Amino acid sequence: MQTIFSTMRVNNEYQLCEVYSEECKNAIEAGLLASRISYFMNYPKAKLFSRHRYLCVFCVNETCVDEAERIVNNIVEENGYEVRFLMRKNPTSYL
């Protein structure tokens, strides 16, 4: 017997971008919420000799990566924030 949950895929999050300021994080968060894109933020530990004091990584579902990238690009172009796009599968495994 196979349940509906046995065919579901999990761990389908992509790391979209790294953000280095809280103002940029708030702007991207508002843009993703306005577009109804599901996301979560990851705050990795700061490295010892990192030149950025603030670091936040936005992760989105793989089905929304293109639209989320477009939204972040528009926000960055309008405001001139520093953002690094990662566009890779989230290495965290939840199972």
**Residue-wise pLDDT tens digits, 12-23:** 889 999 999 999
Which of the four pLDDT bands, split at 50, 70 and 90, describes residue 50? Answer: confident
Size of the chain, expressed as the number of residues it contains? 95
What are the structural domains, with CATH classification, of the chain? 22-88 (3.30.70)
Closest CA to 69 of 91, 52, 88, 90: 88
Bridge partners of 84? 18
Helix, strand or coil for residue 28?
helix
**Residue-wise pLDDT tens digits, 59-85:** 999 999 999 999 999 999 999 999 999
Cβ atoms 49, 92 nearer than 8 A? no
Of the two residues 64 and 49, the one the predictor is more confident about is 64
